[in-house]
Structure 1
Amino acid sequence: MGHLGAPKVHIEIEVRDKEGRLIEKRKEESHSWVANFITALRALMASYDLDDTPNALVTLGGDSWSYPNVTTQYHTILFACAGEGEDLYGILVGAGDTPVTLDDHTLATLIRHGDEAGKLHYNATTVEDLVRTDGGIQFKIVRTFSNNSGGDITVKEVGLAIRCNNVAGTAYILLARDVLASAVTVPNGSTLTVRYIIQHAVS
């Protein structure tokens, strides 16, 4: 008899040159949901109404944020589909390699959006449809970054953050942070695609 284990998360990294030719592709397991993730999950399960505030998350800026605290259809509680140029949520990348801790609420060194030196152009983050696999189910969160900086960019960490809108305003919350097994070099003129693959399967 098969058993359903805990859902697994993998990070897929793909670098392509300006002609679209593959430079590097790799996949590694993500180990680094931070405390905000389990806190948000518990808060949603404990809320009889969405305007309850059973728990507080920590924003990218380090502030306490009551959650979910939602009252209208215009509020979002776990939104990851960041638009082009948005570098505060969706998939984020950074240049830091500080070891991950449970209480991380931001990347160690966020690489900001832009087309100048030291920056990457953040394209939109997409959350793809669920797909049935052999004995399981999965979906992907995907973002492509373009290097128009004029030089190589080195990526050492990746993260996943959400946007929350509630009665208090808007906050950006980091749910996961991983320091990559080895740094990724993104040459000038090339693209970096990062995929979070969240899957659940019978083992």
Structure 2
Amino acid sequence: MQRIDTPETEAKYQRLEALGKKLGIPLLCGHLALQITKNGMMVTHRKQRSHSWSRNVYNLIFCQLGSSNPTDATFGSGLLSYRKTDGNITRYTGSYGAWVTYIDYYDPETRENESAGRGSRAAANSDNHGLVVGASNAAEDFEHYNLQAPIANGLGAGQLSMIAQEAPVLSYDAGAKTLTDTMVRFMNNNSGGDITVREVGYICKMQTGTAYSMSLFLFSRDVLDPVVVIPNAGQIRIQYQISLAYPV
């Protein structure tokens, strides 16, 4: 497996994680792995740190932990609101805020994140939810709310067949006191030509507006350097891991 981050960069991440454990500061870490195969043969296998959490994530954490409503009508520095992938801003206006889980007051069984089509787990053929890919190498930006050039689901030129995202898998390393959630999604290239992937996104579905209204929010967008190419009749496996180191 090829590791993209330099040893110096990886050492900085490891020192940061160690400090978080020692000082008792919650520290979320993201890891992105890409594997491309064709005819059962490995074409590309690489791993890198995911380091491009968006403003949406920071505002979500602050609102939940600080018991603060996202009431601002605009989106930006020092403001609490969320920007959906369609560019529209959502905020608390006296009815409902924004939550990660789907809430149906008449059916408590729907209050969960792990089913396909909920939380950050995409259903089959969904190209705007969960783990997604795009064709733009525009620089990463804290204010981004969607991929810059999303690759669509389908069989046409430049399109990928999006497989349903697998159920998340939790694991715990007792020695390192680290809890990890692993998400995996496959996409097939049946377009008739090679497809270059330059960006990978992580998009979550949250309740907004009413008890039944759901919206999509970009949580991270990583630009790939170098890019990866999915050959015609090839397949990409995207693995996204979120780890939380607990204090020692």
Residues 169, 183 of structure 2: 8 Å contact kept: no
Tell me the alpha carbon deviations over residues 43-72 of structure 1, each in whole angstroms, 9 at most, x when there is no partner: 222448xxx655421011110112326673
Whichever structure has more strand as a proportion of its residues is 1
Which structure is larger by alpha-carbon Rg, 1 or 2?
2
Task: Give the alignment of 1:132-171 within 5 angstroms.
Answer: 132-133=172-173, 134-135=175-176, 136-168=178-210, 169-171=213-215
Tell me the alpha carbon deviations over residues 132-176 of structure 1, each in whole angstroms, 9 at most, x when there is no partner: 234122121111110010100000000000112344422111000
Structural RMSD (CA): 2.4
Tell me the alpha carbon deviations over residues 19-48 of structure 1, each in whole angstroms, 9 at most, x when there is no partner: 322111000111100101111122222448
Query: What is the alpha-carbon distance in structure 2 between the residues aligned to residue 198 and residue 164 of structure 1?
Result: 18
SS at match of 1:87: coil
Task: Answer yes or no: is 1:11 the counterpart of 2:36.
Answer: no
The answer for unaligned runs of 5 or more in structure 1 is none
Structure-1-length-normalised TM-score: 0.87
What's the counterpart of residue 179 of structure 1? Answer: 223
Percent of paired sites with the same residue: 25
What's the counterpart of residue 91 of structure 1? Answer: 131
Tell me the alpha carbon deviations over residues 53-112 of structure 1, each in whole angstroms, 9 at most, x when there is no partner: 554210111101123266734467871111000111100100000001111001110001
The AA in structure 2 aligned to 1:64 is I
Query: What is the alpha-carbon distance in structure 2 between the residues aligned to residue 157 and residue 24 of structure 1?
Result: 16
The answer for unaligned runs of 5 or more in structure 2 is 1-17, 72-79, 92-96
Task: Give the alignment of 1:3-42 within 5 angstroms.
Answer: 3=19, 4=21, 6-17=27-38, 19-42=39-62
Whichever structure has more helix as a proportion of its residues is 2
The AA in structure 2 aligned to 1:27 is K
Query: What is the alpha-carbon distance in structure 1 between the residues aligned to residue 245 and residue 70 of structure 2?
Result: 33
Structure-2-length-normalised TM-score: 0.72
Query: What is the alpha-carbon distance in structure 2 between the residues aligned to residue 35 and residue 201 of structure 1?
Result: 22
The AA in structure 2 aligned to 1:116 is G
Query: What is the alpha-carbon distance in structure 2 between the residues aligned to residue 7 and residue 42 of structure 1?
Result: 14
86-95 or 136-145: which moved more? 136-145
The AA in structure 2 aligned to 1:60 is T
